[in-house]
Amino acid sequence: MPTSPALRRMADFDLGPEQRAVRETVREFAEKEILPHVERHEREERYPTELVAKLVPMGLIAPMIPEEYGGSFVDVVTYGIICEELARVDWVVASVVSVMNSLVVSSIRAHGTEAQRERWLPPMARGEVLCSACLTEPGGGTDLGNLRTTARKVDGGYRIEGTKVFISHAAHAGLFLVVATLDRSRKHRGVTAFLVDPRSTAGITIRDFPMRTLKRDNLAEVHFEDAFVPDDALLGEEGGGFPVLGAALDMGRFSVAARCVGQAQRCLDLAIPYATLREAFGQKIGEFQMIQQKIADMVCRTEAARQVVYRLGRMKDAGIERATLEASLAKLMASEAATQNALDAIQIHGGYGLSAEYEVGRLLLEAKALEFGEGTSELHRKLVAEFALGIRKQ
């Protein structure tokens, strides 16, 4: 929600009263309960376990889990607003909600058996089980049809062998959504999805995946060494990993894009008061046209991204199963808006933009990271161009 009343009206114009109320509630909660701890956690490189626990009584941990499984099910646009408002204050807390509700819950709802839904969804809704998506490998994350992690059929289950990298939340998760190939020669038709309990599966080792920044996220390498998973860990069919991911893909891109809108908004919310207070040459820097141009560009990017994200949410609420083009547009526009807004916000702060005293410097690397997850900008440009040229239909 933008700083000034005029911007606020624009952002909220097409939301219903309940959606606006959710935004107010989540924003107030996030600013009061989460924001005051984020910079300290950043300095301590600490995963926000206590902050995630606070989401549970608020019903914010499981907005995509149906009520019959203990969730607080809401419409997709409202889910986007939750992701947006959480990401506006904390990248990591928003990531916990979005990985769980988009990638994992969507896959289980669309392709899980009733037994899998009953086993996994209620503890997730109670906040007892967090989730990780184990997709990316050292050899690459974009070309998922070319996986090297293998699953070998054995009596009563499968043996998984391979390494996943960049895995968010892995050391804290009670459920991994893992993709592995049953037969590399079959390319994407060999890719198979599994629901793996990392706490009770022998042969899984989780190691720190050192990052230059984003250390609060505790990214991990996950090694599967002949790890046995039972038959009922199979999600969907053998070789059906791509349809499983496909069901989750639009939702994954939606929630990441919504998070990017929140981050783009945060940059604006920090840059506007700074430009209003800071003085140079006897006037407020917000009176200089070059600063005003940056503020205007930041507003344009944020609003444009928000509209394409909400449109995707409304399409999903209308029951449109695949919205690949709209999902790519939303993810591409919102993630690049967040990065560019962070750059502009840093510039408006001058040297302080990179000081530990101000938040904007941290926002840049967090925004940049969201240009990779759920498909890189290059992948989405490729998809958008292929739709535009008629090379791709869906």
156 binds ligand FAD (CB under 6 A): no
Whether 114 sits among the annotated catalytic residues: the reply is no
CB of 385 to ligand FAD, least distance (A): 10
Cα dihedral: 199, 256, 69, 129 (round 10): 20
CB of 250 to ligand FAD, least distance (A): 16
Q: How far apart are CA 229 and CA 158, in angstroms?
A: 5
- 135 binds ligand FAD, rule: CB under 6 A: yes
> Minimum distance from CB of 372 to ligand FAD (Å)?
4
- Residue 169: left if φ>0, alpha if ψ -120 to 50, beta else—which one? left
Q: How far apart are CA 83 and CA 99, in angstroms?
A: 11
Verify binding: residue 230, ligand FAD, rule CB under 6 A. Answer: no
Nearer Cβ to ligand FAD, position 78 or 163? 163
Where in 165-194 is the site for ligand FAD (CB under 6 A)?
Answer: 166-168
CA distance 107 to 140: 22
In whole angstroms, the minimum distance from the beta carbon of 283 to ligand FAD comes to 40
The verdict on 376 binding ligand FAD (CB under 6 A) reads yes
Given candidates 228, 288, 352, 372, which one binds ligand FAD under the rule CB under 6 A?
A: 372
329: contact with ligand FAD by CB under 6 A: no
Residue 382 interacts with ligand FAD (CB under 6 A): yes or no: yes
- 3 contacts ligand FAD (rule: CB under 6 A): no
Q: State both tokens at 198.
A: 């990392």
Of the residues 84, 336, 371, 374, which is catalytic? Answer: 374
Strand 234-235 and strand 191-196: the pairing is antiparallel
**Residue 394 and residue 374: Cα distance in Å, rounded?**
17
* Helix ranges restricted to H, the chain: 5-12, 17-29, 35-44, 49-55, 76-89, 91-98, 106-111, 114-125, 241-277, 289-317, 324-348, 360-369, 377-388
- Contact residues toward ligand FAD (CB under 6 A) are 132-136, 140-142, 166-168, 214, 219, 369, 372-373, 376, 378-379, 382
Tell me the catalytic residues: 374
